[in-house]
Structure 1
């Protein structure tokens, strides 16, 4: 079997169960399991997704029902198959043990629904509300790692530089070894406000593969960040090989927001999100003295001498269609009707074809964004960056 390229986004939340119960409270009500798999396959054009609230009992029931009526099948090498889309069941959890400086989010992925069900039963004894996403688990980081590995799962620290609830944001003072066994980490998720070059300033991360995912809280946000993997099939076993770069499987490109577009790239006022320059002791806009430290500043603090760099796949800065000024829902629907999926529009459709469907200024912005030829205004303090006036 020949190697093929697959579009992969491994961090998508469930907002509500099919009965309307909340899972990710801050997630959209339309983010049901069934809506996600249809949208990811038919509109985004993804080949593999990680649904990271699959531990929630009602989500497990919905998957079981879809398996029983034949709409889903399980691949013998792991993963749940929906046509040409493979779902990897996962769970996002929050640890905050005595070794942590602050809460840390992690991603745990498993090969089958049966294993996820077993993990969910174990989790129900370790946290307060098994129904909800990103719940605090009352075990240590290393104990959670051991359980995940006992179940042949994958363990990945999530959005590691985000100022809140992440490994380097406030979780550790200096090193991941403060809370985790470095040998039981399968990859590092970068988050929206950083990229490969920035992360490689930290020497202890060089041994890991970097992944770029959407952390989608709505259908529109799916695939705002993703990666292209080379594998023989879109299965759990092949994904594991790709993360470990075994037998030719690997990530060949990360696609993500330019860090300037992320919500936490630069240090900003915690009150009004105004950018804060080095040395400023109060916000020049509102006078507040509480700041949200930006990812760029935090990475400078963590910088370690670079002994050697592993060869990384290209990290391609991309502007999702929803960030394009003037491109509203109706125009996006028109583009999708003509070209099928957002992946096709972002990667394959010629400029002339786009310009035949949408006004020239919009077509030009899409084309400039695809080629990285666009001016950006940096985000910070929880406020996304944006495309500046060109």
Structure 2
């Protein structure tokens, strides 16, 4: 096997050059905001397993709900059948979301939720009898997933999928409208491509995996206003920002924006298993309501609306309803700002950004990520920097001691200085 130092040579790992990567760490147990390794070490998890474990690991309420569901019905196909966990979850999501976002299509990953959103938007025009609208306007710096359609609306130049440029559908890209010139350019692009665009897509308030780039609610409101002016559906990708991460249950609330289609995943099940949802307004749904079978949305992941995952998601929503998660997110925001802002003065640091339970420190040039990760491990924290960013997205339930430990680790490593990347 050609896998460096691996104890599991048959595994192909995500975002990893398998020839040169160091062996991964084996986790044997989780609790709270901590990972327990096979060698006995405990790491404070600073990123909540890619932002999913909002209630921390092993929350007993979610565990009980999943255990009860597995005894009754682990799975049943959703084509032609239904079940109470999915119906209850759809109703609760519709009640939580703003406006008339009340038609829920379940999938099994964030990327697929985006694929379905793009497909909905394109077919909406076809169902209206209008052809040629096959492109989407997206924003530089964005990231929406790793499947083909989702890759096509990621940043085409600096994103991780730029090598696929000649293979992906051709989309229209603009800068986020931060300035008058940006607003004018976006307006002009929407007008210039008005006959070929199906929708506009954006991550509200934070472009996550594209670099934790943040923008104020006014920018999102401007995008929504211009999309409406040009008669285009607005798709909001809240896969990262949803469920309290920005300090409100959903980021779009901070701009008082109701999209036409909204995508959710990540924290939907409280970090227990895969589930996603693409949620549409009544107007979008009505575009598929027809006597014509060909007007139906022809999509159906095998494990869509998996009862186990729906049980976990319902339990997660119970916790948001009964425990002070948004207050905890706001408390974390204050701690992140206090702990990270002083690092702005360090040599080689370009920016420090915080919003809700998200904190990011940006280098002037990409550092040596291997050295950086090793130094974090030495201090007992799991932090996974990428590009020129060190970021923290801890569980909303993280206790103050673990949060202080994370912040102290980041500060001490960065104050030591980090060699530049190759």
User: When the two structures are superposed, what TM-score results if normalisation uses the length of structure 2?
Assistant: 0.28
Structure having the higher Rg: 2
- TM-score (ref. length: structure 1): 0.30
Comparing both structures, which one devotes a greater share of its residues to helix?
2
